[in-house]
Amino acid sequence: MRPEILYPLFAQVTTLPGVGGRTAAHLARMGIARVVDLLWHLPTGMVDRRHSPRVKDAGDGVIATLTVEVARHHPAPPRGRRPYRVKCFDDSGTIDIVFFHANRDYIQEMLPEGAVRVISGKVEHFHGQVQMSHPDYILRPEDRDRIPALEPVYPLTAGLSGKVLRKAITAALDTAPDLQEWLEPAHQARQGWPDWRRAITAAHAPDHPRHLLPESPARARLAYDELLANQLALALVRERLRKRKGRAFTGDGHLRRRVEDALPFALTGDQRAVLEEIAEDMARPEAMLRLVQGDVGSGKTLVALLAMLIAVEAGAQAALLAPTEILARQHAATLAPLAAAAGVRLALLTGRDKGKSRRAILDDLASGEIDILVGTHALIERDVAFRDLGLAVIDEQHRFGVHQRLKLTSKGRGVDVLVMTATPIPRTLSLTAYGDMDVSRIIEKPPGRKPVETRTIPAARLDDVVAAIGRALKSGARAYWVCPLVEESETSDMAAAEARYKALKAIYGDQVGLVHGKMKAAERDAVMADFAAGRIALLVATTVIEVGVDVPEATIMVIEHAERFGLAQLHQLRGRVGRGGDRSTCLLLYAGPLSETARARLRTMRETDDGFRIAEEDLRLRGPGEVLGTRQSGLPEFRIADLAHHEDLLATARKDAVLALSRDPKLESARGQALRVLLYLFERDAAIRYLQSG
């Protein structure tokens, strides 16, 4: 149950004075539905209204607060575009107050001729005349103190004025309770941070531009609170997982040796080190939960197979869950010959398996005849039963939620979990998204992999690229041509791909194939099979080929409108080539003019193929919210913390959370109770249930 002290903060915004249904609808468009959402909506700028010159001294483009006398009104003509002007003056000169499409009665009521008024807004010099369009404030001299000297500026949406939003935020701040301190006193004193209520109030009332910076005391304090809630929740989940009964799996190595003997190359040092960590985890009686991060083409799938064979050697079964059918089929195709070499039965299960064939797989799985099952979400359906599931491998973790992980592990007892991702994750994000896991990294590439040569080419040279592709196809090369999402619609990348496919097919005929996300799986797989077999030499595609597609003979990747892709995505796409022994090329076609960010992305792609360096750069350029996509289940969405600026706070918050739980595992002390409130405040309350359920 949420603590009573937080009830006012989690009330709907309509409970605040002056917030009606219409304002609530505008706020909802910005994701603001409750009082607490207003508190987290921090200002991004400030307006200084302290400058109060005479009219003659009011500079062009400055914000000024002026005291003037109203001379006369010049209403707008009934037709035409001229505005309504009100001529005003002080002892130094005249100023026009200008209104477009304004209500005449309202203007005359606000600015009666002969009255003195205080106006505040942006001054403009237009054809030698000083003017102010639609002043932010028009008040009587006795009400002058209603104009804030320093006014915060907030992100807005159409139909919502800054004044209305500020009024709602002021009302929200009035409801903010005094909360018991959850920070460790010595740390708080060292940082010079205010208490929570003073911090949230100060964050909404900056009195200097530096107070808008992420490292200002009020904002740093609030960011730390959010990171501490995140790390505390992860530590509680991790503690719960540690308590989860596991089983000790120790194989004798005979199946793994057979696979290694069948490989045409030796394992890399990184692969061996990670396998050692996995084997140690699996040998313990507690359940394993380990994340393996490996850059594109670093050999994670082989590591997964060898890990699954530990479970099989120990008499159990293993499962590999992949996010898409293409990827599941590919994993099965890659692993099947190695499993056969080890004398192990591997099967594939996807949503496409129906009727008798599906029933046969399920029967063999339940009887234990299938040792390793590879598949999609079909693996977690209710009627899929293992004889004895010992290890679950989850590929591309950020495509799955925690409960899908739990659904799969519930199909066995004491199941070990190995999670893999080819999306290199910056260390900071790794901590926030996967703090409940042990993390291993495979950085070394298998021997013989040549770096992919990357070039950036302006879209104006498209014809040259098409001609170069033609020459490459003649010499037997295979190439991908990727088209981007053009707008925020699901069909537009398909439309772009179809248009490019038609254009290239007109030149190169049946050598060209097309895949996109809207095709039926069977149709898509057939095209991919034709490309892998060389019956198609040029594959036009959307980003459905981003992850896991493995055609070693493909040596050219063309990415059209590369400026529209994120760095991590460009890196993933480039990783589709350079998988065989031949030299490979990636051509990034871009349309100018390029933004600074797009320019930096393309430069990074030219300079490095180190996925981890690319991931760090991606975090710097885009911020954490978009690196994995905030909607992706793996990554929490932060309202205040900015990982690009608060990385050091995250590391401290992690230590703080672990230490707090080691001293007070059930959060029962005075600080423990305050930390419970913190978890509820930042809506990490699911973790509280782990405390209660032991």
Half-sphere exposure of 338 (CA within 13 A, CB side): 22
For residue 71, the tally of other CB atoms under 10 A from its CB is 14
Number of domains the chain is built from: 4
Give mean pLDDT, residues 84-91: 96
Distance CA 509, CA 65 (A): 70
The whole-number pLDDT of residue 431 equals 65
Distance CA 667, CA 236 (A): 10
Residues 6+ apart with CB under 8 A from 678: 182, 225, 228, 229, 232
Identify whether residues 407 and 459 lie together within a single domain: no
For 210-268, the pLDDT digits (tens) are 999 999 999 999 999 999 998 898 888 777 766 667 899 999 999 999 999 999 889 99
Give me the amino acid identity at 591.
Answer: A
| pLDDT greater at residue 33 or residue 615 | 33
Strands (E), 144-258: 150-153
In a domain, 333, yes or no: yes
Residue 415, class by beta-carbon neighbours within 10 Å (0-12 exposed, 13-18 middle, 19+ buried)?
buried
Q: Of 422, 432, 414, 397, whose CA–CA distance to 322 is shortest?
A: 397
Token reading at 621: 């350029």
Out of 204-208, 339-343, 399-403, 667-671, pick the least confident: 399-403
Identify whether residues 41 and 54 lie together within a single domain: no
The whole-number pLDDT of residue 410 equals 86
For 448-478, the pLDDT digits (tens) are 677 899 999 999 999 999 999 999 999 999 9
Distance CA 479, CA 465 (A): 12
In a domain, 219, yes or no: no
Half-sphere exposure of 572 (CA within 13 A, CB side): 24
Q: How far is CA 499 from the centre of its chain?
A: 30
Looking at residue 221, the DSSP 8-state letter turns out to be H
3 state SS of 676: helix
Give mean pLDDT, residues 155-173: 93
Identify whether residues 260 and 406 lie together within a single domain: yes
Identify whether residues 278 and 396 lie together within a single domain: yes
Asked whether the predicted pLDDT for residue 490 surpasses 60, the reply is: no
Alpha carbon of 115 to those of 54, 102, 123, 150, 158: distances in Å? Answer: 17, 20, 21, 26, 34
For 379-414, the pLDDT digits (tens) are 989 999 999 999 999 987 556 666 677 788 889 988
In a domain, 648, yes or no: no
For 554-609, the pLDDT digits (tens) are 999 999 999 888 887 888 889 888 877 789 999 999 988 888 888 999 999 999 88
In a domain, 86, yes or no: yes
Specify the length of the chain in residues. Answer: 694
63: left (phi over 0), alpha (psi -120 to 50) or beta: beta
Residues 6+ apart with CB under 8 A from 245: 285, 286, 287, 413, 414
Give mean pLDDT, residues 9-36: 95
Asked whether the predicted pLDDT for residue 499 surpasses 70, the reply is: yes
Distance CA 347, CA 290 (A): 24
Asked whether the predicted pLDDT for residue 493 surpasses 80, the reply is: no
pLDDT-derived band at 198, boundaries 50, 70, 90: very high
Q: Which domain holds residue 188?
A: 4-45+167-192
DSSP string covering 80-111: SSPPEEEEEEETTEEEEEEESS--HHHHHHHS
Backbone angles phi, psi at 421, to 5 degrees: -145, 140
Domain end residue (candidates: 147, 182, 206): 147
Identify whether residues 415 and 467 lie together within a single domain: no
Strand partners, 372: 318, 346
Give mean pLDDT, residues 268-288: 94
pTM summary value: 0.64
Backbone angles phi, psi at 675, to 5 degrees: -65, -35
The whole-number pLDDT of residue 237 equals 76
Indicate the pairing of strand 45-48 with strand 150-153: antiparallel
Asked whether the predicted pLDDT for residue 427 surpasses 70, the reply is: no
In a domain, 231, yes or no: no
Is residue 633 a contact partner of residue 433, using CB atoms and an 8 Å limit?
A: no
CATH number at residue 106: 2.40.50.140
Identify whether residues 273 and 391 lie together within a single domain: yes
Q: What angle do CA 256, 385, 278 make, to 5 degrees?
A: 30
CATH number at residue 521: 3.40.50.300
Q: Of 566, 559, 564, 570, whose CA–CA distance to 628 is shortest?
A: 566
Identify whether residues 459 and 573 lie together within a single domain: yes
Q: Of 103, 690, 99, whose CA–CA distance to 436 is shortest?
A: 690
Distance CA 661, CA 672 (A): 8
3-state helix, strand, coil in the chain (%, to 5): 45, 20, 35
The whole-number pLDDT of residue 632 equals 35
Distance CA 370, CA 306 (A): 16
Backbone angles phi, psi at 293, to 5 degrees: -100, 125
Strand partners, 126: 129
Q: Of 264, 584, 551, whose CA–CA distance to 449 is shortest?
A: 584
Domain end residue (candidates: 583, 608, 633): 608
The whole-number pLDDT of residue 505 equals 95
Identify whether residues 526 and 591 lie together within a single domain: yes
For 618-659, the pLDDT digits (tens) are 777 765 444 333 333 344 568 899 877 888 898 899 999 999
Give mean pLDDT, residues 272-292: 93
Q: Of 568, 576, 558, whose CA–CA distance to 605 is shortest?
A: 568
Indicate the pairing of strand 137-139 with strand 93-99: unpaired
Identify whether residues 173 and 279 lie together within a single domain: no
Domain end residue (candidates: 576, 608, 640): 608
Q: What angle do CA 464, 494, 423 make, to 5 degrees?
A: 85
User: What's the sign of the alpha-carbon dihedral 86, 90, 94, 99?
Assistant: negative
Average model confidence (pLDDT) across the chain: 88
Identify whether residues 473 and 360 lie together within a single domain: no
CATH number at residue 12: 1.10.150
Identify whether residues 63 and 76 lie together within a single domain: yes
Q: What angle do CA 546, 551, 552 make, to 5 degrees?
A: 120
Identify whether residues 111 and 177 lie together within a single domain: no
Q: Quick check: bond before 593 cis, omega within 30?
A: yes
Alpha carbon of 513 to those of 148, 295, 569, 691: distances in Å? Answer: 64, 28, 22, 55
Residue 575, class by beta-carbon neighbours within 10 Å (0-12 exposed, 13-18 middle, 19+ buried)?
buried
Token reading at 642: 């900015």
The whole-number pLDDT of residue 64 equals 96
Token reading at 159: 């139909």
Residue 354, class by beta-carbon neighbours within 10 Å (0-12 exposed, 13-18 middle, 19+ buried)?
exposed
For 655-680, the pLDDT digits (tens) are 999 999 999 999 999 999 999 999 99
The whole-number pLDDT of residue 623 equals 55
In a domain, 491, yes or no: yes
**Rg for the chain, CA atoms, rounded:** 31
In a domain, 434, yes or no: yes
Indicate the pairing of strand 45-48 with strand 63-74: unpaired
In a domain, 623, yes or no: no
3 state SS of 538: strand
Q: Of 434, 238, 399, 413, whose CA–CA distance to 321 is shortest?
A: 399
Give mean pLDDT, residues 101-111: 91
The whole-number pLDDT of residue 656 equals 95
Percentage of the chain exceeding pLDDT 90:
61
